[in-house]
Structures are given as C-alpha cells and as structure tokens.
Structure 1
Amino acid sequence: MKRTCVFIAAAVLIAGCGGGGGTAEPQENAGGSPAKVTLEWWHLSTAEPLKSLWAQRAKEFEAKNPNVTIKATVLENDAYKAKLTTITQSGNAPDLFATWGGGVLQQQIEAGLVKDISSDVADVLGNFTPAALSAYQFDGKTYGLPTDIGMVGFWYNKKHFEQAGITEPPATWSAFLEDVKKLKAAGITPIALAGKEKWPGHYYWAYLAMRIAGLPALQQAGVDHDFTKPDFVAAGQQVKALADLQPFQKGHLGAAYSTPDGQSATVSNGKAAMELMGQWAPSVQTSAGKGLGDDLGFFPFPAVEGGKGSAGEAFGGGGGLAVGVDAPKEAVAFVKFMTEMGNHSKAVESGGVLPVLKGEESAVKDPNLKQVATMLADASGYQLYLDQAYPPAVGAQVNDSVAELIAGTKTPEEVGQDITEVAKSEG
C-alpha cells in the first residue's frame, strides 16, 4: 500500500462546552463473572506529574473493573520509540500505547496493528477539540484519542535575559540571533540542546522551514517528496547560521534530554538561557533539575523576515492513546476512562498536559501554559512534528540529517538531498 504523509494545517480552536465519556462493560466468562484481563500499556511519561497521575488512573480503573489488571511499561522517549518500532515490526502491538499520531500511526494502521475504535468512541468524539483529534483520524475513522496537545516554543530564563540586556523576547529570527550573541557576550550559554537524541534538533529546521517556505510548501513536499527546493535549503542555512555561533552547551552532541545532565536540566539549573521544546518542558525541567519557578518564561518561534510563513502558525503536537488490533474491549474502555472530563482535567490542572476537551481551558493554572493555550487558540495553522508526520524511516532521516547539519558534517543542500532520497523511496 502506498503511504501518504499526514500534515495538519488547520486553524486551532480551543473553545466550547465540556462533556464526559463512559466505561464500556467488560465481557463475562462462562460463569457469568467478568473474565480476567491483563492490559499491556506502554507510555513514555517518565516525569512528574504525569508519571504518578497515569499510575493513579490505572489503579482507579482497576478498582472500577476488578477483572482488569493493567501492566504499565514506562520508557523515556528514544527507548520508547525504539522498543515500539521493534515490536510493531514483528507484527505485534501492545494493548494500549502512547502515540503522536500522524504518519507513524498511519503506517501502523496500514500494517494491521491498530484497532479502528470509531464506533466504540462515537459517543464521546464531540467532546474533543477538532485539532486535538485530527492526528488520530484517517479516512473518516478514529484510531486513538488525544491526551495532550500543544506547541513547541522557547522556554527561557528571565534573569539570564536581563543579565544580557535583553528587554523583551525576540520577535524575528535576526533579533533572535543577535540575542544569542548578547547572551554569549554576557558569559551565558544561550541554548541547551540534547544532540544525542536528535529529535530536539529537528525542531529548528522544521520551524525555519515553516517560517521561510510556509505550510503549503510543507504540504506539497508531502506529495512530491522534494526537500531540495530553495526555501528548504534556506532553512538549513539558517540552522547553520545559528550553529556557527556555537550557542549550545559544552558536550551538547552527546547530551540526552531528560537526564540530570541533559538539555532540560541544563536550563532548569541555570546553566543555559533557553531551550526549544514542547509544552511539557516545565514539568520535565522540574523533574530533571531544580526548576526556575517564576523566572521561567515562554515565547513563540520568531518570524523570519521575508518568509512565506506566518508567525501565527504553530508547530508541535500532543499525545494520544491507541489500541492494539487484538486488544480486548477493556482497552478501549480504559482509553475512554483516561479522557473523561473529570479525569483528564486533573492532568490539565497539574500542568502535565494542555486541554484536549472542549471547555477544559479553565483548568490551565500555570501562566506560561496559559500563554501556550492562548497561542494555540489563535493559531492560523498547525503542523505536526515532522518526525511523526512522516513514516518512521523519513522522520528518522529528518532527525539524522538535521543532527549532522548542527554537528557540521552535512551541508544544508545535503540535508535536503538525503531527506528527499528516503522520502521518495518510502513514497
């Protein structure tokens, strides 16, 4: 089957009125009592508050459904992706698993590994915002429910900016580069980067491609698989311009993301001024390091002067739960349980996730996350992470190529050529 790339470029709306789902009835065994069921649940929420919240949700579901035992496998990002890829390549899938949707989920669907839950969740689909659902729906069918949505932006240390004489966050890319220079001049490491894990680096190239080429160009690239066009090369040239300033912490090429000496902790412990990261950044910073408290601020990725893209367009994604094709009906019941208003809003209140249900906005307490939610509500377009929007091989090549660009071992032109080669072979 020919695979298509999934791109989300629609206005994002977070508004409306709330609702809640219900729990499906468990099957009964021959004796009339519910059959014993063990659900294998894989996710990657290794940081608080979600680590404990998700464990609590599982216990609550087990209490409501005594026949069900939930066995959770919790892995950090790269390990999770690798293990899920290995098991799905073998033709299997966990009963429940975290997904970002998009092209990766679509490939799993095409391989016959994911359950179509459309009829099972039809009664609750209206409770979700369209933007939150869109990454998990294909050809009018639903293959997962969202637990989070958000956008990638810069999380920064306000005190470091003040020390460098930066009075307001940069609104343009040229101003951003100047601010990087100011931070370096003040003896402050401008940016923390988890170069070892590669996916954080792809955010820079993806956002610059959005700002320079525009969302329609990214959509067209999903059709013609051509990333050698001038605007994509220009995006690579701007990543190189940033890397040439040597803005990242020492050892960034070998740094992980959420470890005590990784990207998140480097910012959280005051050893770098900022990181480009998703809406989960504050909770991971607090979990991995000391936390910045009121000194933590957020600003969106800057506009690029002369670019075809709008600064109002957001790049990011969220997270959702998909169900393995052979999973029992209790797995779908757990997905619905996790996304009921009463349960999900507690995760929003904790700062662990952003609203995916209509009417959930008031549960956002953190001022930075409120800013992210407002920007999402006002966004003129939305693009899913490129390493999830594409099939796995293409997404991996995006990450690898951008990492090589940042390391100085590949040129902007070679990045476009390498991604194009893999995209055409997959297309």
Structure 2
Amino acid sequence: MTAPVSRRSLLGLAGLGTGAFLLGGCGGGESDSPGSPQTINWWHIQNTEPMLPVWADMARLYSGRHPNVTIEIEPLENEIFKAELAEITKQGAPPDLFQSWGGGLLRQQVEAGLVKDITAEVEPWIGQLLPAALQPYTIDGRIYGIPFDVGMTGFWYNRDHFSDAGITSPPTTWTGLLEAVGKLKARGITPIALAGKDKWPGHFYWAYLAMRVGGLEALRRAGETGNFDTPDFVTAGERLQELVDLRPFQRNWRNAEYGTEDGQGATMGNGDAAMELMGQWAPSIQASSSKSKRGIGNQLGFFTFPTVEGGKGDATDAFGGGNGFAVGRDAPPATVDFLRSLLRSDNQRRAAETGAVLPTNLAAVGRIKDPNNQVVAAHLAVASGFQLYLDQAYPPAVGQQVNDSVAELMVGRKRPDQIVRDITAVAKSQQ
C-alpha cells in the first residue's frame, strides 16, 4: 500500500462520449526514433473538451515529425476506461500507453509484469518534473509512469449562493461547514452537489475526515497493517453521518454521475448547488457539462477541507493526486519518446492554458494562467503533507471497498463502525 508523502512544495477527468483517433506519421523528425514502422496504442480519459482535441493535436504533431510512428488514440470515459483496462490486463495485453494514477493499482501491474520499467529511459529528463508528483509512479525505487498533472481536492463554491445565505467567508471548521449547510438550506439553496452513483466522489469526504481526525499517520498505519477498525476512522464516519443527516445533496444525488449533463459537475456549472468537493479539474468539467458551456465564471471560489475540532490532522495537509501515463510491457520503442514529448515544457504550458491541467514540468508551473488553477497551486505550495486518493493509494480491492463502504454509509445501509470492519476485512485479505 502507498503511504502518504510529506513535502513542503508540490505544485481532467471524466465526461461523456468515446471515440478513436488514428494518426500516422507523414513528415520529418526532430529527434530520431527507431526506423522500423511502429504503432502506439494510447488510451486516455480526457474524452471531452478541453483536453480531447489538445491530446489529439499533440499526437498529430509527433507523428508528423516521426514518419514511421502511427498513434492510435482511444479516449474513454473514466469508469469505462477502468473496466476495459481491467479486462484487457487480465489477458496480459495492456495498451502501449495508458492513463494511470499510480499507487496500489500500478504496483499490482508492476508485480504482474504488465508495465515497463522506464527508469533508465527517462533519467535524462526526469529532473524537469516536480519530484513529489513522481511518488505515486515510483515503485521500489523504479519509475513505471510519468505524471502530466497534479492537484488536490477541495471545496469549489458559488460565491453568489454563499452571499445570498449570509455566509461571509468559507468555513474553516467542520462545525462551520455544517452551519453553512444549514444556512443554505434555509434560503432554499441546495448546499452540495454529489455524484452518488459513481461512489468515488463520496469517498473524498470520509478520507479527508480521516486525515483531519487521525492525521496522515493514521492513514499510513492503516495502509501498512490493513487495520481501519480504529476510533479515528469510526469518528470520521460519524462526522460524515452528521453531514448526511442534514440532507445537503441535490434531489437525484444517489443516481447522479459525475460528468453527465445532469450530474455533479453540471449541477454546479448550472448554478443549482452551492458546493462540490472535487479536484482541480472541477471548473473545466463544470463548464463543459453546463448548459451554457461556461459554468458560473467568476462566481466560482475554492477553499480547503475544514479542520475537525479535536483532530490530530494538520489543516494544510492536502488530499489529491494527479493524472499520468504508464507504459505497457510490449510497447514499441518510440512510446517513451512520445511520452517525453507530452511532458515538454511547451506542451505542458499548452495543457495548463486549458484550465484542465496543473502541470508537473517545473518550467510550466509558473505559467499557470487559469485563476482557479492558480488558487489550487497556491494551496499546494504551502501544503505540509500529501495523501493520494485512497481508491488509488491502496490495492484496487481495498480502494473499491472504501468507495463501496462509504457509499453504503451515505445511503444509510451501514453504520460507521460497520464500514471500517468491512474495509479491514478486505485489506487484511490483500496482505
């Protein structure tokens, strides 16, 4: 299991539609790749605006410079991607280049011999990237993937709704958050948008509460021992139950998905809820899935997850992760060179300008123009500790059980003490 990483400096997700793009080389090269014809099969989840056409154009430009390289692109919705990747890896045939969040799943892929050790190939340029962003992709000191994006989860909120409810500043404590929910409901404003059907957005709440109640050490210890049946994790569930009991979510939250036209992102983007707890990609998804295709513009604000009174966690500890790519074990020689091209400073700047990516290339970090991403980057810059998403940090079976158990708690099927026993049972079975 992956433990939290402490550091002092650490500077897009799912939607609708799938499709495939085939890009063949047709020009000269600025850097040589082996001369024999090669086809790179590339799977990613940036299947909507703004990154879908950006990735396609970067691949087109690369294949134009390398006449022997053809790039087949398969953009997939997040949940479909996970299911199809699981199926194809069972057959021992992963894509040549595919979306990865590192952590426990990548470790399993490494142990199964499904991904390529790219340490030696990336050594000449890996120093250009933020070191902490590489942590989830480094297994036992070897590098198996490269992050193109890194960020954190926090509350995105509608300034107008807060003002209408008499909330003069974002809450900094859990009690303050519950009070804000009450004020919003009293004004007839839906406090929080949530994609209950997808489950992973719900786990953000329990994970952050566990961090604030028990600190990063509690998560590290649980990762090592497999024991989540402790007072800190039970308390995290009890605090979450306090929120759920207030009925803060939109009417259809149990059946809502994240990136659909009536999902969590759209609910925020259309101004139909005051808050959502989501990662750095949230503004772009709010915009792309909203009716206006612009979201709520400068009404959007951001604040970090509040502290829990009496908790051991640091208020500046961040919970998040990033997006990256792993290289399949049988990938053609040009794959890592193509991956390098995606991480070049000019391409990272271009990705950052979309507002959907917080770059990992040091030369691009200072060029973030999107005001929302600037805010997230500023919070990350002063973060005292960092915890990878639990459904990525831990082995897949454990991460899935966390998502499932938190979902059961939120719909009233399980108590806080029951879900920690369920998670512990699965975690122990994986050791």
SS in 1 for 2:120: coil
Q: Which residue of 2 aligns with 1:94?
A: 95
Q: Does 1:292 align with 2:303?
A: no
Structure 1: distance between partners of 2:256 and 2:386: 29
Query: What does the per-residue CA deviation read over 1:215-235, in whole Å, with 9 as the maximum and x for residues that have no partner?
Result: 011100011111110010000
SS in 2 for 1:417: helix
Query: What does the per-residue CA deviation read over 1:232-261, in whole Å, with 9 as the maximum and x for residues that have no partner?
Result: 000001111111100000111110000000
Q: Decide whether the 8 Å contact of 2:349 with 2:359 is kept in 1.
A: yes
Q: Which residue of 2 aligns with 1:175?
A: 176
Structure 1: distance between partners of 2:3 and 2:87: 25
Q: Which residue of 1 aligns with 2:368?
A: 364
- Deviation, 1:8, is 2.9
**Partner residue of 1:406 out of 410, 422, 426:** 410
Structure 1: distance between partners of 2:36 and 2:111: 31
Q: Which residue of 2 aligns with 1:31?
A: none
Q: Which residue of 1 aligns with 2:192?
A: 191
Q: Which residue of 2 aligns with 1:105?
A: 106
Q: Does 1:346 align with 2:350?
A: yes
- Deviation, 1:24, is 6.2
Structure 1: distance between partners of 2:40 and 2:358: 26
Structure 2: distance between partners of 1:317 and 1:219: 16
- Deviation, 1:155, is 0.7
Q: Which residue of 2 aligns with 1:397?
A: 401
Which segment is superposed worse, 349-358 or 197-206? 349-358
Q: Which residue of 2 aligns with 1:10?
A: 6
SS in 2 for 1:256: coil
Structure 1: distance between partners of 2:40 and 2:87: 19
Residue type matched to 2:405 in 1? S
- Deviation, 1:350, is 2.0
Q: Does 1:117 align with 2:128?
A: no
Q: Decide whether the 8 Å contact of 1:213 with 1:231 is kept in 2.
A: yes
Structure 1: distance between partners of 2:255 and 2:239: 22
- Deviation, 1:359, is 3.3
Q: Does 1:26 align with 2:33?
A: yes
- Deviation, 1:397, is 0.5
Structure 1: distance between partners of 2:396 and 2:231: 25
Structure 2: distance between partners of 1:418 and 1:281: 31
Q: Which residue of 1 aligns with 2:23?
A: none
Structure 2: distance between partners of 1:342 and 1:349: 11
SS in 1 for 2:308: coil
SS in 2 for 1:214: helix
Q: Which residue of 2 aligns with 1:256?
A: 257
* Moved beyond 6 Å, runs of 4+: none
Structure 1: distance between partners of 2:411 and 2:318: 26
Structure 1: distance between partners of 2:403 and 2:228: 14
Q: Decide whether the 8 Å contact of 1:38 with 1:69 is kept in 2.
A: yes
Structure 1: distance between partners of 2:105 and 2:52: 24
TM-score between the two structures when normalised by the length of structure 1:
0.94
Q: Which residue of 1 aligns with 2:154?
A: 153
- Deviation, 1:270, is 0.8
Structure 1: distance between partners of 2:44 and 2:372: 25
Residue type matched to 1:48 in 2? E
Query: What does the per-residue CA deviation read over 1:367-401, in whole Å, with 9 as the maximum and x for residues that have no partner?
Result: 22111101111100000000000111111000000
Q: Decide whether the 8 Å contact of 1:7 with 1:102 is kept in 2.
A: no
Gaps of 5+ in 2: 12-28
Query: What does the per-residue CA deviation read over 1:325-369, in whole Å, with 9 as the maximum and x for residues that have no partner?
Result: 010111111110100111111111221211212232321112221
Q: Which residue of 2 aligns with 1:30?
A: none
Q: Which residue of 2 aligns with 1:139?
A: 140
Q: Decide whether the 8 Å contact of 2:345 with 2:363 is kept in 1.
A: no
Residue type matched to 1:81 in 2? K
Q: Does 1:377 align with 2:381?
A: yes
Q: Which residue of 1 aligns with 2:391?
A: 387
Aligned residues: CA RMSD: 1.2
- Deviation, 1:164, is 0.6
Structure 2: distance between partners of 1:204 and 1:267: 17
Structure 2: distance between partners of 1:23 and 1:403: 50
Which segment is superposed worse, 261-270 or 363-372? 363-372
Q: Decide whether the 8 Å contact of 2:190 with 2:272 is kept in 1.
A: yes
Q: Which residue of 1 aligns with 2:236?
A: 235
SS in 2 for 1:325: coil
Q: Decide whether the 8 Å contact of 1:13 with 1:130 is kept in 2.
A: no
Higher RCO (C-alpha 8 Å, min separation 6): 1
